[in-house]
Amino acid sequence: MRFLTALVLTWTTAAAGALATPGQPTDGHLGFQPAVTPIMERVTSFHNILLWIIIPITLFVMGLLLWVMIRYNRKANPQASKNSHNTLLEVVWTAVPVMILIVISVFSFPLLYFQDEIPEADFTIKATGYQWYWGYEYPDHEVPQYISTMVAEEDLSEGQLRNLSVDYPLVVPVDAVVRLQVTAADVIHNWAMPSFGTKMDAIPGRINEAWFQVSEEGTYYGQCSELCGIRHAFMPIEVHVVSQDTFDAWVEAGPGSDEANAVIAEYSAARETRLAQLD
């Protein structure tokens, strides 16, 4: 019964994905958040391919288990076989999984290369993990590091999310190719953004790189995904993807300030009004 339940839930994943809210967790949702970057689109496609591979394997193994339990239980087979080896069978159960892995590698290796090979970027962001908050700087825009910390539950404003909203978010323009440099100042952290398909370790004394290009304006949330201490669950990531003009105004206002936040708040309010009119 548990197997049938799991199978039904697996098949409903795609339908549930259509109801998910981009950039944030959704109650009752199964599967990935909607993809908003080329990387995440390919990750989702690869996931769907693996789903078609693993379902027949699961059904085949389940069938073998049922057959063995019925055909070779003590009552049906009181005289057990003394055989301990079967060369053909051992070759088959070694070769078939190898062939399956080779087929999977045809799809996975190009995806790994696409994630690792950073295209020519429009600008760079450096993210530094601390216990337990993030620091961001934009060297190409001469923006010094500012600190981004979680908004406490008792301080949440309307529209902010518990354990996900921050006081000073990251802001990027839509369709811009962003080179992300990730490091840490104390212990290992991890900068993870589900809708972007980005997940990169922040290691003290080392700079790791990733990239993303967001195709849809909006607000997206992630979290540190490396166990980094007692407040690991309370160092979220909030990214606002805005128009180029709004981004320029945000940079001019001084990231990490109330003036910069006001620029984003005004843009978000206008965007929500436009979306409401479209509905």
pLDDT per residue over 54-87, tens digit each?
A: 999 999 999 999 998 998 888 888 887 777 888 8
pLDDT per position as a tens digit, 166-205: 999 999 999 999 999 999 999 999 999 999 999 999 999 9
| Between 11 and 189, residue with greater pLDDT | 189
Identity of residue 249? A
Q: How many residues does the chain have?
A: 279
pLDDT value at 16 more than 60: no
pTM for this one?
A: 0.84
> Residue 17: enclosing H or E segment and its boundaries?
helix 13-18
Q: What is the mean predicted confidence (pLDDT) over 141-165?
A: 94
Local structure of 131: helix, strand or coil: coil
CA 143 to CA 251: how far, in whole Å? 8
Task: Write down the residue that tokens 């080179």 correspond to.
Answer: 179
Please give the backbone phi and psi of residue 252, each rounded to the nearest 5 degrees, phi first: -65, -35
Which two tokens mark 51? Answer: 């789903």
Residue 32 CB partners (closer than 8 Å, separation 6+): 17, 40, 43, 44, 47, 194
pLDDT of residue 20: 67
Rounded Cα gap, residues 51 and 49, in angstroms: 5
Tokens of 71: 């055909």
| Cis before 134 (ω within 30) | no
Provide the b/e sequence for 177-208 (b: ≥16 CB within 10 Å): bbbbbbbbeebebbbbbbbbbbbbbbbeeeeb
Instruction: Kindly state the DSSP code that residue 147 receives in the 8-state scheme.
Output: E
| CA 271 from centroid of its chain's CA atoms | 25
pLDDT at 160 over 60: yes
Token code pair at residue 157? 């404003």
Phi first, then psi: give them for residue 189, nearest 5 degrees: -115, -175
